[in-house]
Structure 1
Amino acid sequence: MPTKNLLTNESSLSADTALVARRTRRRASAQGGASAQLPDLTANVSFDSHEPIGKQIFRALREAIFVGQMVPGTPLSEKEVSDMFQVSRQPVREAFIKLVEAGVLQVLPQRGTFVKRISPRQVREGRFIREAIETAVVRKAAVSITDEQLQALADNLREQKLAAKSNDTAAFLALDEAFHYAIAQAIDCTAAWETIQDIKAQMDRVRYLSLPDVSPLDLLIRQHARILAGLRAHDPSAAEDAMRSHLREILMSLGPIAERNPAWFEADEPERVPLST
C-alpha cells in the first residue's frame, strides 16, 4: 500500500487545520461550548474531481466537526453551506442527511440543524462494533498478508514515529487511518473499513480531543507495533489480541476527556449490558 498516496485522501488533515482546531477547542472550553462561526471549507472540495460534490461536502463538514473547527451547538443551514461552496442545496441536503445518520448533526424542529454533542454511549457502541470487525480482519490478515504489505505497514509505522517526534498530531492521525485501512486491504476487503466509517464517527471525535495529552502518541505507536508483530509472525491470535487491546484504549481516555470537555458531551446513558468488557 502506498502510504503517501493514502495521506492525500479523505483521512488526511493539514497541520494548519489541526492548529485551528486546537484553538477552536480552547475558545469553546473558555466560552462554555459556545458555537463557533462556520469555517471556510472551500479548499477541501474540488470541482475538477470525478467524485460527486455532495460526497466531498459531506467529508469536508465531517472533518471540520471531527477536528473541532465546528464545536457542539454550531448551527448549520443548507443556504449558508450551499453559498459557501457555490452549489445548489441538493448536494448539501444529502451531506446533512448522512451527517445526521452518522450521529454528528441533529435537527431540532422549529430551531434548525446543529452540531451534536458526543454521546459516550455511542462511542462505546461504535468501539464494540469496530472491535468485532477489525479483530476478524486482522486474524485473516495474519494468515494471508504478503511481505510487500508488511513492508508498507512498517513504512507507515516509521512515519508515525516521525510525526510523533515532531508532535504533528494531524499527520499521525492520517497515518493511523492509513495503517488500519491497509490491514483491510491486505485481505482485499476494504468494504470492512468502509463499513465502520460512520460507526466510528463518535470515536473519531474523541480521538481528536484525546491527542496527545490523554492518549500519548508513543503509546499508540507501541500498540500499532504489537499489531504489526503479530502480522509478521503470521500469528492470528497475537494479532487479534494486539488489535483488541489497541481499540480498547479509547475506553481509558473517554472518561478523562469528557471531564475536561463537559460542554462537548451528552449526559452518559450506560448500556443495560456493558459493552466495555
Structure 2
Amino acid sequence: MEVCHIISALQGDHVDQAIITTPPTTASQIYDWLRRRVQTTDLPPGARISETEIAAEIGISRQPVREAFIRLAADGLAEVKPQRGTYIGKISVGAVLSARLIREAVESDLTKMVAQLRPKDGLAAMQAQIDLQKQYLGPDDVECFVESDDRFHRQLAIAAGHEAVWNDLERLKAQINRLRHLSMRVFDRQHTIDQHQLILNALTAGDSYAAEAAMRAHLRQILDDMPQIRQAQPEFFTD
C-alpha cells in the first residue's frame, strides 16, 4: 500500500480500504477501482478495455465488470463503440472548462466563509496537507500529491461547514482530475504548494478579499496548463 493511501485512510477521507488492499469483487468496487485508474491515467484516454480481460485479471465473472463499464460510460469516462469494443473516453475540453467555472464560483464563496470564521482546527488541517505536499515532489509521487491537493480543498469545505458541497464538486471534476495528473508530471508542483500557502495565509489573516483572489488565481492555473498539455498529447483530448 502506498504511503499516501495509508495517510488518507488514517485521516478519515472516506477511502475504501477494501479496494486498496484486496482485488475488487463487486460492481461498485470495480467501478471505483477502474475510475481511479482512469483518473490517474493508468488507463489513458483512448485505451481499449475488455470485460473479459479485466474479469480474468481479478478472477471474477464478467457481469460486475460490465456494470462498472456502464457507470464509467455514464460518467463520460468510457465509450462503447458497437462492433469495436469499449474505450477510455478522451478528456473533454468543454467538460473541463465547465467544471472549472463551477468549481471557482463555489470555492471562492467557501474561501470567503472560512476567512470570516478562521476555524483553528480547519486551518491547521489545511496546513497539514501543504506540509505533506512538500514530501511529494518526486516523479513517482504524482498520485500522492494530487490526493493531498484534493484533501486541502476538502478541508476548506469542511472548515466552511459545507463538506457535502465538496462531494458534489468531486463528482463534477472527473475530467479535471485526469488533466491534473498529466500536468503534475510536467509542471513544477512547488508552484501549486506556493498557491495553497498563499490562500491559507490570507485565510489565517482573515483577509477574505486576498483569500478569494488567491483561490481564483489558483483555480485558473489550469487554463494556462491545459493548452500545453493538449499540444504535447493531442490524442488524449476532444473538444
Could you tell me the TM-score, scaled by structure 2's length? 0.84
Partner secondary structure for residue 70 of structure 1: coil
Farther off after superposition, 251-260 or 137-146: 137-146
Q: Which amino acid aligns with 1:122?
A: A
Identity %: 34
Is it true that 1:73 corresponds to 2:50 in the alignment? no
2-side partners of 1:10 and 1:55: how far apart? 14
Q: Which amino acid aligns with 1:72?
A: P
Aligned position for 2:119: 146
Question: Residues 242 and 185 (structure 1 numbering): CA distance in 2 closer, same or farther, change over 3 Å?
Answer: same
1-side partners of 2:234 and 2:16: how far apart? 27
Q: Deviation of residue 204 (structure 1)?
A: 1.1
Is it true that 1:100 corresponds to 2:73 in the alignment? yes
Question: Residues 91 and 136 (structure 1 numbering): CA distance in 2 closer, same or farther, change over 3 Å?
Answer: farther
Partner secondary structure for residue 238 of structure 1: helix
Is it true that 1:200 corresponds to 2:173 in the alignment? yes
Q: Map of 1:48-127 to 2, 5 A cutoff?
A: 53-127=26-100
Q: Which amino acid aligns with 1:164?
A: L
2-side partners of 1:46 and 1:128: how far apart? 37
Aligned position for 1:247: 219
Partner secondary structure for residue 45 of structure 2: coil
Partner secondary structure for residue 164 of structure 1: coil
Q: Which amino acid aligns with 1:99?
A: L
1-side partners of 2:42 and 2:140: how far apart? 19
2-side partners of 1:165 and 1:11: how far apart? 26
Is it true that 1:231 corresponds to 2:203 in the alignment? yes
Q: Map of 1:32-43 to 2, 5 A cutoff?
A: none
Q: Deviation of residue 207 (structure 1)?
A: 1.0
Farther off after superposition, 256-265 or 232-241: 232-241
- Root-mean-square deviation over aligned CA pairs: 2.9
Question: Residues 197 and 98 (structure 1 numbering): CA distance in 2 closer, same or farther, change over 3 Å?
Answer: farther
2-side partners of 1:180 and 1:79: how far apart? 38
2-side partners of 1:70 and 1:77: how far apart? 12
Farther off after superposition, 247-256 or 90-99: 90-99
2-side partners of 1:92 and 1:165: how far apart? 34
1-side partners of 2:171 and 2:233: how far apart? 23
Q: Equivalent of 2:148, from 168, 175, 182?
A: 175
Which whole-Å deviations, capped at 9, do the CAs of 1:146-165 have from their partners, x for residues lacking one? 11221121122112122237
Could you tell me the TM-score, scaled by structure 1's length? 0.74
Q: Work out whether residues 139 and 240 of structure 1, in 8 Å CA contact, stay in contact via their aligned partners in 2.
A: yes
Q: Work out whether residues 31 and 72 of structure 2, in 8 Å CA contact, stay in contact via their aligned partners in 1.
A: yes
The number of residue pairs the alignment matches comes to 233
2-side partners of 1:252 and 1:89: how far apart? 42
Partner secondary structure for residue 218 of structure 1: helix
Q: Which has the higher helix share?
A: 2
Q: Which amino acid aligns with 1:205?
A: R
Q: Which amino acid aligns with 2:210?
A: A
1-side partners of 2:177 and 2:76: how far apart? 12
Which whole-Å deviations, capped at 9, do the CAs of 1:24-67 have from their partners, x for residues lacking one? xxxxxxxxxxxxxxxxxx974647x9xx9333222211121122
